[in-house]
Structure formats: structure tokens, C-alpha cells
Structure 1
Amino acid sequence: MAQVVALTELERDALTELVNIGVSRAASSLRKMVGEEVLLSVPSIEVMNPHDAARLIGEREIDDLVAIQQQFEGAFSGRALLIFPEATSLDLVRAIIGDDVPPDQIAEMEQEALAETGNVILNGCLATMANMLKRSLNISLPEVIRGDGARLFASSQESSNDGLVLFLYINFSVRNRDIRGYIAMLMDLPSLSALKELIASFILRVVGDEA
């Protein structure tokens, strides 16, 4: 069934470009939050089932994972996750709230700082994508969850047989720290098919404008 919504190379390139525009806008918003340069890029996108996504992140990351989760609904619907290894998430929090905050206060501020960062990045990414595809999305408030890949990708809403994950690697630099993470968008097949059609229309518009 996954082949029904397999992206062509051109569609994958277009989606990567849309996501990169989205995260660059999110980086601009984060820059205002932290008062320093923030660089974000998405070098690659993979489409896979949730089980394979959980296995892949498990192979790459031995630490527990921290994720910020938001639901999105509209022309395409699903669940977006911004995922960091736990050690990286603490580094991110320190980068955002500053190194002069006492360690005992960092723990208290961590949840809020992560939720706000996730909200900025996921909202910026999803809203920009939807806007460029000439659609709109309703996006829920952020929720911080912890666990391994299997827990993060498990959901009562998507069965493993009827859902796919857009799995995005992100390179993240703030206050000269190199922070790696992932964005995952879990969608059922109808939503991914709708996204594929919107991307195809976007490509036609761009090609038409350039012709």
C-alpha cells in the first residue's frame, strides 16, 4: 500500500524545499527568542512506516528521546513530532534560556522551553508548507512526551498498516552548539495522498511560472 503514495524524486525535492523554507522561517522566529543566530536545515526526507521509523531512530540514538508533539488538521492531517535525544534536549534548553541559569532551575524551565521551541519550529514548518500549497491547517497546542521510538510513533489514531511517516533529519545550530534532531509527520494514507496531490500542483505552478 505504501507504493500508492510513493513520492517521485521531483516531489521529494519539492517537499524538501518546502520544509526548508518552513524551518528557515522557524529559525528566524527562534532567533528573536534567543537573541542570537539560529541555523536550521533539513538535508533529507524519507517516507517509511512507523515501525521502520522507530527502528531507524533506535539505531541512531541510544539515549532516551524527548519529543514535542502537535496534531494538525486540514487539507492533510496527522501528528507532527520534533524529536531530540535527551542529552541534546538539555543542551537545546541551555542554549535557549542561557548558560547563567542555575542547574536546579533548568529542570523546572525545561518542559516549557521545549514546548515553546517545538511550537515555533513545528508551527513554522507546517503553516509555511500549508501556505505555499495554498491551504490552511489547524494546529494543536504542543505537548512534551518522552520515551523510545516505538512509543513516540505509536498512536491509537494511526494503525501500523494504514499510516506512514515523513521522517526528516534536521541540523540545528544555536549559540554555536551543534544540535541534531528529527521532525516526523505521521499521516494516514488518505492524508499523504492529499499531500502528494498538493505537491504535484505546487510543482506545476512553479514550472508554469518559470516557463
Structure 2
Amino acid sequence: MTATEFELDELELDALTELVNIGVSRAAVSLREMVSEQVFLSVPSVAVVSRKQAAELIAELKSGHLIAVRQAFDGEFSGRALLIFPESNSLELVRAVAGEHLTLEDILELEHEALAEIGNIILNGCIATIANLLQRSLRMSLPEIVRGAGPEFFELVTPSVNDVVLFIHINFSLKGREVSGYIALVMDLPSLAIVKTLIDAFIERTAR
């Protein structure tokens, strides 16, 4: 089976979208507590795509370079999680989190730490919630900041042509700043097959 042949049926995709929405909602609560301000996070779409398709989709965000917060996750299934958005938005996000009064010099100094914290909250909140609802636990690495054009974000430690990307389009509003980006979970086919089985079990539990 190849990445292009793997797919979730409509019921599975609906269940996965529900899981993602719950995870993103919980991440928004954590962000709200951090910035003491209302945070809106929404998920317009969820799709399972190949790495090549993911690179094509990410091109929609291009307004210069892209920036991503990346964390590895490991457990019954494993892979890499990324929060990706245009680099041009990064300083605005830092200002929203760290304070409006900061000078540009201060913001540049705090950029790495603030973005890592934002990414950690969103990715951990989303992935940990999904894992809990699937009745599994995952270990998450510390966040790292990566920059580039996009395609290189979707590499696993041991890449394969059949790696797949769970691609989640998100919109979030933070202190009036509208940012569009993606959460991407890059997995190999065996890991995604495990996720599919766990989603089926989740559907069966919730249908009782």
C-alpha cells in the first residue's frame, strides 16, 4: 500500500475531525490562560495526503519563507508534529504573546522562545487530547523552530516515499490578529494504519 492508496472512509474522517476539533479547542483554552485574552482556533479542514501533496498545499501559505514549530511524538504510533505558518506572521504572534509595548529588538530576541511556547501549547494540546480520546499515551519531544520553503518540513528521521501527512488547516485569532496555518502530523504507513484502527475503536465506543 502506498500513501496515495491509503484513505479514511467518510465516517473515520468525520471522527478524526471531531478529535482534532476537541484537541484544538483545548489548546485554545491553554493559550487563553497564557495571554489572558480570548483566543479563537478553528479547523476548516482535515485531510490525509502524501508528502508531495502536503508540499503543494503548503505553497498556499507562501508570502516569503515559512516557519514551523516541530516536535517528535512516540508511542503506539509515532511521527513528527508541526505547526506551520508564514514567517511574516511570527513577529506579530510574538508581540501578541509577549506584549504590545516591546520594541522590535526585544521581539526579535524573544521570537524563538515565544514561538516554541505557542507551538508547544497548540501541538501538545491537540495531540495529547487526540491520544487520550483514542485511549493511548504519547511522549512528546521538546519543540524546535525550523524555517524553510515547506517540503523539507515533512521528512521523518528515516524518510520513505510512502510517508503520509495528516494535514489540518487551522485559523486562529489572537488579540485581533488573524493567522492562517497548518498542523501537520507526519507518519509512516504502519503508524497511520494503527491510528485508523484506533479511530474505528473510538467510533464503536461512542456509538454505544
> Shorter-chain TM-score category?
over 0.9
Matched, 1:191 2:188: no
Which SS does the other structure have where 1:91 is aligned? Answer: helix
Query: For residues 1-211 of structure 1, what are the structure 2 equivalents within 5 Å?
Result: 1-2=2-3, 5-159=6-160, 161-208=161-208
Verify the 8 A CA contact 2:63 2:88 in the aligned structure 1.
no
Of 82-91 and 190-199, deviating more is 82-91
- How far apart are the structure 2 equivalents of 1:77 and 1:105? 37
Verify the 8 A CA contact 1:50 1:153 in the aligned structure 2.
yes
Residues 1:78 and 1:60: Cα distance change in structure 2 (over 3 Å): same
Of 100-109 and 58-67, deviating more is 58-67
* Alignment-mate amino acid for residue 46 of structure 1: A
Which structure 2 segments of 5+ residues have no match?
Answer: none
Provide the aligned length of Structure 1 versus Structure 2: 207
Measured after TM superposition, the shift of residue 4 of structure 1 is 5.4
Residues 1:59 and 1:177: Cα distance change in structure 2 (over 3 Å): closer
- How far apart are the structure 1 equivalents of 2:64 and 2:5? 34
When normalised by structure 1's length, the TM-score is 0.94
Verify the 8 A CA contact 1:5 1:196 in the aligned structure 2.
no
Which SS does the other structure have where 2:152 is aligned? Answer: helix
Which SS does the other structure have where 2:37 is aligned? Answer: coil
Overall identity of the aligned pairs, in %:
57
* Alignment-mate amino acid for residue 78 of structure 1: G
Residues 1:9 and 1:154: Cα distance change in structure 2 (over 3 Å): same
- How far apart are the structure 2 equivalents of 1:125 and 1:19? 7
Which structure 1 segments of 5+ residues have no match?
Answer: none
When normalised by structure 2's length, the TM-score is 0.96
Measured after TM superposition, the shift of residue 58 of structure 1 is 1.5
- How far apart are the structure 1 equivalents of 2:69 and 2:198? 26
Verify the 8 A CA contact 2:173 2:179 in the aligned structure 1.
yes
Superposition RMSD on alpha carbons, in Å? 1.2
